[in-house]
Amino acid sequence: MVIRDIEFIGSFEKESQCPKLNKPEYAFIGRSNVGKSSLINMLCQRKSLARVSNTPGKTQTLNFFDINTEWYLVDLPGYGYAKISKKMRAKWEKMIEYYLLNRPNLQLAFVLIDSRIPLQKIDLEFINWLGSLAIPFAIVYTKTDKLKKLEKKKNIKAIREGLLEYWNSLPAEFVTSAETGEGREELLAFIADLNNNF
């Protein structure tokens, strides 16, 4: 897929405020700081489309982008940010749950997992929660540029094994780096395929 045209639609605090148009939509979600915003910039080949930060919890709203006037990309705030108050956490959960359950055009959620570290309990819980809601998802391993080839293979294998303790099979998986652009073509081709079936 060639990305010709990107339009920032807006940042919304509630699902009810989000645009409701008849286009396929894809959400990017994962632990705070996992690299969601960076991946979106990499996919779109724009340096600062989505805000990137060293401080976890940077993205706090549902951020909508229209791509090629054909599909929506949604940057979601991350979960598992330790320094967040109980009240904020509850607000996040409500916002995400409402969003995920009320978007008929949501084709799939890309769940980002940090390839550098072992599978985190919170990622497993989130993925299992998506499963319980029957929300289709794909897995995106991030920050692979930080790993040597063998390490990358070993880490991903361990994460897969952790997931396969709960799942009979795994969905589509993408190995990516926002630094090198690894996985970009594969991920965009996957979206293009789903768009064709919309």
Residue numbers at the binding site for Mg ion (CB under 5 A):
36-37, 58-59
**How many residues sit close enough to ligand GTP to count as binding (CB under 6 A)?**
24
| Least separation in angstroms between CB 150 and Mg ion | 30
Q: For residues 37 and 144, which CB has a smaller minimum distance to Mg ion in the complex?
A: 37
Strand runs (DSSP E) across the chain, as ranges?
6-12, 25-30, 62-67, 71-75, 106-114, 137-142, 173-175
The pairing of strands 6-12 and 71-75 is unpaired
d(CA 13, CA 32): 17
Contact between 58 and ligand GTP by CB under 6 A: the answer reads: yes
* Contact residue for ligand GTP among 96, 127, 140, 178 (CB under 6 A): 178
Query: Using alpha carbons only, how large is the chain's radius of gyration in Å?
Result: 16
d(CA 114, CA 15): 27
**Which range in 28-36, 61-69, 82-90, 152-160 contacts ligand GTP by CB under 6 A?**
28-36
| Least separation in angstroms between CB 10 and Mg ion | 16
Residues shown for the chain: 198
The footprint of ligand GTP (CB under 6 A) covers: 30, 32-38, 52-54, 56-59, 77-78, 142-143, 145-146, 177-179
